[in-house]
């Protein structure tokens, strides 16, 4: 019985199912892990459970709970309303402000999905009312949200750093964040200007019907609960960035303070936690631990190494992860599948920079998320203005998303390979 091959086949099956169905592959991966590891591989259940990423689970739960509270009590919405008015009627600046706002919210801990869910309804409505292409607005919102999403405070950043720590790469949270931020910014803003965004700077919104009610409405003062939440956000950033406090535990403390002070609806916040993503990440990680124990990871990296060299591996990884991520979960499936391959790839290729490889996987995985079959793109498409041709918008976003697997490969080869 070839356990390495069986574990790779189980792993490939989980990825395939994640691409073609809505089934959460987290519990499916745990089932595969039990069959391969315990029933066929002679492991005990306790050994299988040891592969569960307990630290990563707690960190993800703490961070997502705190920012779910910030969303439920209206703090994130209040920040958005005040930020988008900075354009002062300049049409070309409004999409750029949404990009900056998305990057900022994602960086401080909301992450790419929560940020897009918050901004897409506003951004796509504003785009329709001021005559900006919904396609251009979707590119900037999604690119901005992805640009900040590898912050050590945001869920994808937490996942990436947790997975890297499991393979012995520590203390690289901010370098991986800045590498991704640079690539997402270059591609997102480049696409905006190349596809016609520069023409919008010659236009200004009138004070009348051309501007959105959201931009013209008077602001209510922040409630005490929102001010308290903003203070806790600032303290969380300081504690994690400068005092080296564990982000998960710091987020739990902040969440507890919001709950005890009744500054947020705890029940609503708990329901808003992305439990399905957490299950996917933890389940796939359990299956990956079986691959590592049974020789499947060595076989998987051998297959990857056949298609790459030390100089081209960053481009190859970005292309492969991007193509899979178009149809599969970036955080829940692709990152847990590919980040653990880094040590084996470096060994088989005879060298390589682990942070360059990690950055290529991160960028390739998330650059395609403007696609309407990805969560971020779907949120923008679902909130498109009534006047927008949604079929045409779908086709443009799909073409952009698929092309990003190639663009991502080139960008990562240049940024993290040649340079």
Whole-number Å distance between alpha carbons of 25 and 31: 10
Compute the average pLDDT of residues 254-275.
Answer: 93
Tokens at 380, concatenated: 């923008």
The confidence band for 205, taking pLDDT boundaries of 50, 70 and 90, is low
Q: Per residue in 150-195, pLDDT tens? A: 999 999 999 999 999 999 999 899 999 999 999 999 999 999 999 9
What is the b/e burial string over 194-226, where b = at least 16 CB atoms within 10 angstroms of the residue's CB?
eeebeebeeebbeeeeebbebbeeeeeebeebb
Whole-number Å distance between alpha carbons of 83 and 77: 10
Name the β-bridge partners of 90.
Answer: 204
Range name among 96-110, 214-228, 301-315, 388-402 with the lowest pLDDT average: 214-228
Whole-number Å distance between alpha carbons of 230 and 174: 22
Please list, in sequence order, all residues whose beta carbon lies within 8 angstroms of the beta carbon of residue 231, skipping any fewer than 6 positions away.
Answer: none
Is the pLDDT reported for residue 210 higher than 70? Answer: no
Q: 271: burial class by Cβ within 10 Å (0-12, 13-18, 19+)?
A: exposed
Rg (CA), the chain: 22
Percent of the chain whose predicted confidence (pLDDT) is above 70: 95
Please report, for the chain, the start and end positions of each structural domain, with discontinuous segments joined by +.
Answer: 3-50+74-222+274-418
pLDDT value for 82: 78
CA distances from 96 to 101, 162, 179, 239, 259 (A): 8, 32, 20, 30, 35
Compute the average pLDDT of residues 223-246.
Answer: 89
Whole-number Å distance between alpha carbons of 195 and 205: 21
Tokens at 269, concatenated: 């916040």
The confidence band for 209, taking pLDDT boundaries of 50, 70 and 90, is very low
CA distances from 357 to 11, 79, 88, 342 (A): 21, 35, 42, 7
Q: What is the dihedral of CA 138, 140, 144, 146, to 10 degrees?
A: 50
Q: Per residue in 43-64, pLDDT tens? A: 999 999 999 998 889 988 998 8
Q: What is the number of alpha carbons within 13 Å of residue 402 lying toward its C-beta?
A: 7
Please count the residues of the chain. 419
Is the pLDDT reported for residue 129 higher than 60? Answer: yes
Q: Per residue in 352-405, pLDDT tens? A: 899 999 999 999 999 999 988 788 998 898 888 888 888 889 999 989 999 999
SS3 state at 6:
helix
Tokens at 347, concatenated: 């060994």
Compute the average pLDDT of residues 216-231.
Answer: 84
CA distances from 319 to 4, 18, 25 (A): 25, 18, 22
Helix residue spans in 195-274 (DSSP H): 213-216, 224-241, 247-260, 266-272
Compute the average pLDDT of residues 135-143.
Answer: 95
Tokens at 410, concatenated: 């080139």
Q: What's the mean per-residue pLDDT of the chain?
A: 88
Whole-number Å distance between alpha carbons of 411 and 198: 22
Is the pLDDT reported for residue 216 higher than 80? Answer: no
Is the pLDDT reported for residue 257 higher than 90? Answer: yes
Number of other CB atoms surrounding residue 26 within 10 Å:
27
pLDDT value for 24: 85
Whole-number Å distance between alpha carbons of 136 and 189: 10
């Amino acid at each position: 019985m070839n356990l390495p091959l069986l574990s790779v086949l189980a792993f490939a099956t989980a990825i395939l199912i994640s691409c073609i169905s809505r089934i959460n592959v987290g519990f499916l991966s745990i089932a595969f892990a039990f069959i391969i590891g315990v029933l066929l591989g002679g492991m005990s259940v306790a050994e299988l459970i040891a592969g569960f990423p307990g630290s990563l689970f707690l960190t993800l739960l703490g961070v997502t709970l705190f920012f779910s509270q910030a969303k439920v009590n209206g703090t994130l919405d209040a920040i958005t309303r005040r930020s988008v008015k900075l354009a002062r009627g300049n049409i070309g600046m409004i999409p750029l402000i949404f990009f900056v706002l998305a990057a900022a919210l994602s960086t401080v801990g909301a992450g790419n999905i929560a940020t897009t869910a918050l901004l897409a309804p506003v951004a796509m409505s504003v785009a329709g009312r001021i005559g900006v292409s919904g396609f251009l607005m979707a590119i900037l919102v999604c690119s901005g949200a992805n640009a900040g999403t590898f912050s050590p405070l945001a869920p994808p950043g937490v996942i990436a750093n947790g997975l890297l720590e499991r393979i012995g790469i520590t203390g690289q949270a901010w370098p991986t964040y800045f590498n991704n931020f640079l690539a997402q910014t270059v591609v997102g803003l480049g696409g905006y200007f190349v596809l016609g965004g520069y023409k919008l700077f010659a236009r200004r919104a009138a004070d009348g019907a051309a501007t959105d009610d959201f931009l013209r409405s008077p602001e209510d003062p922040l409630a005490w609960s929102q001010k308290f939440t903003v203070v806790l956000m600032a303290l969380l950033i300081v504690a994690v960035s400068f005092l080296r406090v564990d982000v998960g535990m710091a987020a739990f403390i902040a969440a507890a303070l919001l709950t005890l002070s009744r500054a947020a609806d705890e029940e609503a916040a708990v329901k808003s936690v992305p439990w399905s993503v957490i299950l996917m990440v933890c389940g796939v990680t359990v299956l990956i631990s079986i691959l590592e124990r049974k020789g499947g990871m060595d076989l998987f990296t051998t297959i990857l190494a056949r298609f790459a060299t030390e100089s081209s591996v960053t481009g190859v990884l970005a292309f492969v992860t991007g193509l899979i991520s178009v149809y599969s979960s970036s955080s829940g499936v692709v990152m847990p599948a590919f980040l653990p391959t880094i040590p084996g790839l470096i060994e088989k290729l005879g060298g390589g920079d682990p942070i360059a490889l990690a950055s290529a996987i991160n960028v390739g995985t998330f650059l395609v998320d403007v696609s309407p079959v990805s969560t971020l793109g779907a949120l923008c498409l679902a909130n498109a203005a009534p006047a927008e041709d949604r079929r045409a918008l779908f086709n443009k976003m799909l073409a952009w998303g698929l092309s990003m697997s190639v663009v991502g490969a080139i960008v990562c080869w240049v940024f993290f390979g040649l340079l």
